[in-house]
Structure 1
Amino acid sequence: MIRQLTAVGAVLGACVMSTPAIAANCADRETVVARLASHYDEQPTAGGLQSTDDEPALVEVWSSRETGTFTVMMTRPDGMTCIVATGTDWHQAAPDAPILGSAS
């Protein structure tokens, strides 16, 4: 019971703390792009436009073959860019890659 309460408390704490962290991950596009290139050796990998009721946004994935890092970011029309997700061990999927194995 104590473990479950501790786990629930940790999850709730993470949710409460995530809002300021998300707000801190936004800057003008030039700053974000320069930092991704200089600190992580990341380059544009994929992207597309997202349409919402409020305004469209450019969603991009930047990644590095050298470091294995990746960043998912969203840029608004006013140039404000926010980091949505980051990670490691990026791998590029081959287009139309065959599925190995046998049908079950």
Structure 2
Amino acid sequence: MFKRLLSLALVFGAVSTAPPLYAQSVCGDRDSVIDQLESRFGEVHAHSGLTGPGALLEIWTSPETGSFTVLMTRPNGSTCVMTTGEHWLDRAATMPVMGDPA
């Protein structure tokens, strides 16, 4: 367990000093990646959908900091961080509902 956490810490630490994430992919066990997003970055699952090839695309966001992470989980179970960023704006949460008198 300690080896896995240390490995993830090194991977996420390397990501912060590496070239832009779109130039690379960080992949790992889905449970470990999700645990890091929740505990370290305070991100929660915001949106998800299935791609044509059957991969699960997810967006995780932090309402407090505005950070976001886009994950893709392939049918074989491998989860990859596709990109990360800041200043996430959830337009659906800020737009009025049709017919809403407010």
Give the TM-score category using the shorter length.
0.5 to 0.7
How many angstroms does 1:91 deviate by? 1.3
CA distance in 2, matches of 1:28, 1:78: 11
Instruction: Tell me: CA distance 1:65–1:80, structure 2 relative to 1, closer, same or farther (3 Å).
Output: same
- Any stretches of 5+ residues in structure 2 without a counterpart? 1-18, 97-102
SS at match of 1:94: helix
Is 2:38 the partner of 1:40? Answer: no
CA distance in 2, matches of 1:95, 1:38: 24
| Equivalent position to 2:59, from 61, 72, 86 | 61
**Alignment-derived partner of residue 77 in structure 1:** 75
Q: Which amino acid counterpart does residue 28 of structure 1 have in structure 2?
A: D
TM-score by length of 1: 0.65
Q: Which amino acid counterpart does residue 92 of structure 1 have in structure 2?
A: D
Q: What is the number of equivalent residue pairs in this alignment?
A: 76
TM-score by length of 2: 0.67
For the aligned residue pairs, the C-alpha RMSD in angstroms reads 2.1
Instruction: Tell me: CA distance 1:51–1:71, structure 2 relative to 1, closer, same or farther (3 Å).
Output: same
SS at match of 2:91: coil
How many angstroms does 1:96 deviate by? 8.8
CA distance in 1, matches of 2:28, 2:57: 15
Q: Which amino acid counterpart does residue 42 of structure 1 have in structure 2?
A: E
Residues 40-92 of structure 1: CA deviation (Å, up to 9, x unaligned): 1001000100012xxx1000000010111000010012221001110001111
